[in-house]
Structure 1
Amino acid sequence: METNTILMYIQSYGYMIIFLFLFFGIVGIPAPEESLLFLLGVLIAHQQLAWEYCLLAGLLGINAGMLSAYGAGFFLGHPFINKYGKYVGINKDRWVKADATFRKYGRWTILFGYYLPGVRQISPYMAGMTNFPFVPFLLLSCVGSLLWALPFVLLGAFFGERFKFPLSYIPLIGLGMFVLFILGVWLNQMIRKKQYGNR
């Protein structure tokens, strides 16, 4: 979806569309979440939107999506896997391994998985399916959503105040930030492996 289209929806429907875009993005329906958050920062810098309402609508949408996906995973996940898992390549052994992995790293996945498209959509379903405790899930979800959303909005506000650029460039900026993030994670892993190998 083009940035101008997103802007048109925001101008037409207000803060509710921010809630809906981020809700759908979390539950797995494609939506340009990072680009939207960056765009919100730009619009805040141009005084077209109020930052407190943007952040409130965004965080509510994100966490409503997380809770909905958690509930779906908790109530529908196991019966679905047991009945249909074999048709999508998920047998009992694979499920046991996935279950063990999430139980080991689940807290970090919920907290920081927002930064990785695909992971942020899968993690709440996995949390529900593995019976991850609800209260810790809710706390990690709320903290993680703030750590994810706020930096993108602040970056958008920073660039919006200092630079003039067409709104159509915003998806490219969001993609560039994502690539830099992945590169940073990869370099960190390589350095850690090298240090571990030298011991």
Structure 2
Amino acid sequence: MDLIRGLISFILHIDEHLVEIINIFGGWSYAVLFLIVFVETGVVIFPFLPGDSLLFASGAFAAVGAFHFTLLLVVFLSAAVLGDTVNYHIGKKIGTSIPPNSWLGKVINQEKMEKAEAFFNKHGGKTIVLARFMPFIRTFVPFVAGASRMNYRYFLIYNVTGAIIWVGICTTLGYLFGNIPIIKENFSSVILFIIIISVLPSIMGFIRAKLDKGAGKKR
């Protein structure tokens, strides 16, 4: 419970924690930011680390000179692309050999793998790009893409495209608007809003799936 509270506090008060990171690590702060985004996108069991909020807050800090904006974009872009690449290869390596009784095995089984493969064959590129803006799903999609043996070259194209769009939009918005007085004074509320907007598509998809399932049972 304390860990969950700590993570929520870290995400909602990411601006305060970035100050701590900069004060402690100085120039090595870029490496810390790289590591956070890399793990959040690259390790399927760490989907709860900050993504959108970190990019936005870092962009705001770049606007006041704490980070070099171009270097920040390069760091985040590299972390996002490499993270998804590693996640893809992890899924390809162990995705089909996960013990069925494990918690991950209950989430990912052969039937879901087959459905995921069919879905990626039809909507793969769009799925990978859109997933960048969805916490949790962002971490899960490249793993499933690898486990379902999605063509790697095809995956890589949309991996890079999605990373450019995600990093570019979130970091630039922070750079342009993060230090506007009303936003700066209500930074936690802005971050919470970003999180809600990010997860809204997945929530709507879940509700739609439940409604469709319920309608199917009534027929």
Provide the TM-score with structure 1 as the length reference.
Answer: 0.79
Instruction: Please say which of residues 8-17 and 31-40 is displaced more in the overlay.
Output: 8-17
Match of 1:38 in 2: 56
Name the aligned partner's letter for residue 189 of structure 2.
L
Greater relative CO (CA pairs within 8 A, separation 6+) = 1
Provide the TM-score with structure 2 as the length reference.
Answer: 0.73
| Alignment of 1:179 onto 2:196 | yes
1:134 pairs with 131, 137, 152, which one? Answer: 152
Residues in 2 aligned to 1:18 and 1:94: alpha-carbon distance in whole angstroms: 33
Residues in 1 aligned to 2:184 and 2:103: alpha-carbon distance in whole angstroms: 46
Match of 1:143 in 2: 161
Match of 1:80 in 2: 98
TM-superposed CA distance for 1:53, in Å, is 1.0
Please state whether the residue corresponding to 1:79 is helix, strand or coil.
coil
2:68 pairs with 19, 30, 50, which one? Answer: 50
TM-superposed CA distance for 1:158, in Å, is 1.6
Match of 2:17 in 1: 5
Amino-acid identity (%): 23
Please state whether the residue corresponding to 1:63 is helix, strand or coil.
helix
TM-superposed CA distance for 1:90, in Å, is 5.2
* 1:78-135 deviation per Cα after TM superposition (whole angstroms, max 9, x unaligned): 1226786896265544443333223322211112211111221111111111111111
Return closer, same or farther for 1:120/1:48 CA change in 2, 3 Å cut-off: same
Q: Which runs of 5+ in 2 are unaligned?
A: 1-9, 209-219
Match of 2:88 in 1: 70
Return closer, same or farther for 1:74/1:89 CA change in 2, 3 Å cut-off: closer
Match of 1:197 in 2: none
Q: Which runs of 5+ in 1 are unaligned?
A: 191-199
The answer on whether the counterparts of 1:103 and 1:130 sit within 8 Å (CA) in structure 2 is no
TM-superposed CA distance for 1:20, in Å, is 0.5
Please state whether the residue corresponding to 2:49 is helix, strand or coil.
coil
Return closer, same or farther for 1:67/1:171 CA change in 2, 3 Å cut-off: farther
* 1:51-70 deviation per Cα after TM superposition (whole angstroms, max 9, x unaligned): 11111111111111101100
* 1:133-183 deviation per Cα after TM superposition (whole angstroms, max 9, x unaligned): 11121121111011111111111112234326557x434313313434637
Please give the root-mean-square deviation of Cα atoms over the aligned residues, in Å. 2.8
How many residue pairs match? The answer is 185
Instruction: Please say which of residues 2-11 and 63-72 is displaced more in the overlay.
Output: 2-11
Please state whether the residue corresponding to 1:138 is helix, strand or coil.
helix
